[in-house]
């Protein structure tokens, strides 16, 4: 990796962090637990790197480390998205609430 590549990645990192900051400050405290489990599942995207390490046949060490990494990341992907969905499924509106209360977009 060259320094140019590092700088380009830095651009992406800073801009993505900025987008993340803008979006996530708007998530209500109501959903902070699902937010954390969701970002946890999303950051298990390191699965992508693990797949290459496990499958590129670069010697036994890399393959074994890659295999453990694929397993760990998959646990977070599968478990993370499932538990987030399980939580979000529980958040329900009050069916009795009047129209003005229904409009409380939070």
Looking at residues 48 to 87 of the shown chain, list those that interact with other proteins (rule: CB under 8 A).
48-59, 61-63, 65-87
Does residue 105 belong to the site contacting other proteins (CB under 8 A)? Answer: yes
Residue 106 interacting with other proteins (CB under 8 A)? yes
Q: What residues from 85 to 104 belong to the interface with other proteins (CB under 8 A)?
A: 85-97, 101-102, 104
Contact 94/101 with Cβ under 8 angstroms? yes
Q: How far is the CB of 86 from other proteins (least distance, A)?
A: 7
Smallest separation (angstroms) from other proteins to the CB of 48: 5
Q: Least distance (Å) from other proteins to the CB of residue 87?
A: 5
> How many Cβ atoms sit within 10 Å of the Cβ of residue 53?
18
Binding status of residue 21 toward other proteins by CB under 8 A = yes
In degrees and rounded to multiples of 5, residue 104 shows phi and psi of -65, 80
């Amino acid at each position: 990796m060259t320094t140019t590549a590092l700088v380009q990645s830095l651009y992406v990192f800073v801009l993505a962090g900025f987008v993340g900051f803008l979006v996530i400050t708007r998530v209500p405290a109501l959903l902070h637990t699902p937010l954390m489990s969701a970002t946890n599942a999303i950051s298990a995207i390191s699965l992508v790197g693990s797949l290459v390490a496990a499958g590129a046949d670069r010697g036994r060490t890399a393959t074994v480390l890659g295999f453990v990494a694929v397993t760990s990341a998959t646990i977070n992907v599968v478990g993370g998205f499932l538990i987030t969905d399980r939580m979000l499924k529980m958040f329900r509106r009050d069916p009795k609430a009047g129209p003005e209360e229904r409009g409380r977009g939070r």
